[in-house]
Amino acid sequence: MIDEKKKRSRGVFLLPNLITTSALFSGFYAIVSSINGDFIIASLAILIAMVLDGLDGRIARLTNTQTAFGENYDSLSDMICFGLAPAIMLYTWATANLFLSPGSSKIVLICCFIYVASAAIRLARFNSKIQTQDKKYFIGLASPASSAVIITYVWIVESMLASPSLGAHYVWVGLFILPILSFFMISNMTYYSFKDFNIRHKVPHITLFVIALIISFISFDPPLVLFSFFLLYAVSGPSMYLIRIVKKKKSLSQEKNSTKL
User: Does 4 reside within a domain?
Assistant: no
Residue 17's CATH number? 1.20.120.1760
Q: What is the pLDDT of residues 151-210, one digit of tens each?
A: 999 999 988 765 545 567 888 888 999 999 999 999 989 888 776 666 666 667 777 777
User: Does 107 reside within a domain?
Assistant: yes
User: Does 182 reside within a domain?
Assistant: yes
pTM confidence score: 0.84
CA 70, CA 56: separation in Å to the nearest integer?
Answer: 9
The strand pairing partners of 139, in sequence order, are 190
The closest of 118, 124, 122, 117 to 139, measured between CA atoms, is: 122
Please report the pLDDT score of residue 200 as a whole number: 62
Question: Mean pLDDT score of the chain, rounded to an integer?
Answer: 83
User: Does 126 reside within a domain?
Assistant: yes
Q: What is the pLDDT of residues 230-247, one digit of tens each?
A: 999 999 989 988 888 888
CA 101, CA 49: separation in Å to the nearest integer?
Answer: 34
Q: What is the pLDDT of residues 66-125, one digit of tens each?
A: 788 888 889 999 999 999 999 999 999 998 887 766 677 888 999 999 999 999 999 998
Tell me the longest C-alpha to C-alpha distance in the chain. Answer: 75
User: Does 1 reside within a domain?
Assistant: no
User: Does 24 reside within a domain?
Assistant: yes
- How many domains, the chain? 1
Whole-number percent of the chain with pLDDT over 70 = 83
User: Does 3 reside within a domain?
Assistant: no
Containing structural domain, residue 70: 9-260
